[in-house]
Amino acid sequence: MVSEEKDKTTNTLGSKVAEITISVDSGLSKMAESISNMVTSMQPTIDAIGEIAAKTLSVVYKLSELFKYHEIVPPQVYDMLVKLKVPLSTQEIEELQKLETEDEKKVYTIFTRKTKGKKIYNPKFHVNKEMFDAIKLVLSRNRSSISVENGIVYFDKDTCALDVYGLVTYMKKDSDRYRLCKYMFGNKRKPREWEVKDLVEELSDGERVYDPNDKKSSHNWINGKIVELNKDVHDSIGIDELVSYERGRFVLNSANRL
C-alpha cells in the first residue's frame, strides 16, 4: 500500500518535472526565436550603422588628406603674408602643378575667415611646400605674436583701400566712411587729430553747420560716423578703436598699433 502511494507520488513528481522541463525548453525556444526575430528586424539598422561608420571614417580620412594641403590662419597673419608677397603667382602655380602626382601635391593653400558687415568670406592664396611648412611652424609657436612693422595709416581714394599698419580693408565708394577716410587719412603726412568743427564741415555738404553753442549735437553726429568706421575696421582687420575721442578732439589711437 505504501509502495503504491510512493509510486504515485514519484510518477506525479516526475510528470511535473517533465512539464516544467518542457515549459522551460519551450520558453527558451521562444526566447531564442524572439531574439532571432529581433536581430533579424534590426539587421537593416545594424547595416545602416555600419554604413554610417564607414562613411564617417571615409570623411575623416578625406579631411585629414585635405588638411595636409590647407592651413587656416588669422586675418592679421593672412594680410601680413600677402603684404610680404608670399603668395605664388599664377605662372608659378601652373609650373608646380605640372610636377604633381596622384600621391603628392606641390601646391598648398593658405586661407582665412573675414567678415565685412554681415558678409563672411574666405580669401585664399597658394604657396609651395617649403613655405607651407614654414608658416605652420611659425603658427605652432605663437600665432598671436606675428605682426608687420608698419606705421602707416593711409587711404587710397582711387582703390578705396584703407591701409592700417600693414593690414588693408576697403570702403564703399562715396559712402560716409569713404569720405571720412579720404579726409582723415588721404594724406600720409597730415596731422592725426581732428577738430569736431572741421569734420562736420567736411561731411555735412553744407547741410549741417557747426554751432559753438550746441557742441554736443555736432559731437554726437560725428561720433556716430566714427563709431561706424571703427566697427568696420575692427570687423574687417581686427583693429580695435582706430579713432578715439581725447581732450576735445578725435585722434588716431596709436595704442592699438600692431
Average pLDDT over residues 147-164: 76
Cα distance between residue 200 and residue 65, in whole Å: 56
Does residue 229 contact residue 243 with C-beta atoms inside 8 Å? yes
pLDDT at position 206: 63
Collapsed DSSP state (helix, strand, coil) of residue 133: helix
- Considering the entire predicted model, what is its pTM? 0.44
Query: 170 pLDDT exceeds 90?
Result: no
Does residue 113 contact residue 75 with C-beta atoms inside 8 Å? yes
Tell me the pLDDT band of 229, cut-offs 50, 70 and 90: very high
Tell me the three cell numbers of residue 147. 605682426
Ordered DSSP codes for 2-51: HHHHHHHHHHHHHHHHHHHHHHHHHHHHHHHHHHHHHHHHHHHHHHHHHH
Tell me the pLDDT band of 13, cut-offs 50, 70 and 90: very low
Query: 187 pLDDT exceeds 80?
Result: yes
Compare 207 and 99 and report the one with higher pLDDT: 99
> Tens of pLDDT along 73-127?
877 788 778 878 889 999 999 999 898 888 788 999 988 877 655 567 788 899 9
> Closest Cα partner for 82 from 155, 161, 158?
161
Alpha helix stretches (DSSP H) within the chain: 2-66, 75-83, 90-97, 129-142, 176-185, 196-204, 215-237
**What proportion of the chain, given as a percentage, has pLDDT over 70?**
64
Query: 10 pLDDT exceeds 50?
Result: no
Average pLDDT over residues 196-221: 82
Q: Is 76 left (phi over 0), alpha (psi -120 to 50) or beta?
A: alpha
Tell me the pLDDT band of 226, cut-offs 50, 70 and 90: very high
Cα distance between residue 66 and residue 59, in whole Å: 10
Query: 163 pLDDT exceeds 70?
Result: yes
**What proportion of the chain, given as a percentage, has pLDDT over 90?**
10
Residue 37's Cβ-count burial label (10 Å; 0-12, 13-18, 19+) is exposed
pLDDT at position 56: 58
> Tens of pLDDT along 21-52?
445 455 555 555 665 666 566 566 656 656 66
Residue 230 DSSP symbol = H
Distances (CA, A) of 222 to 109, 137, 185: 42, 45, 16
What lies within 8 Å, CB to CB, of 213 at 6+ separation is none
Residue 153 DSSP symbol = E
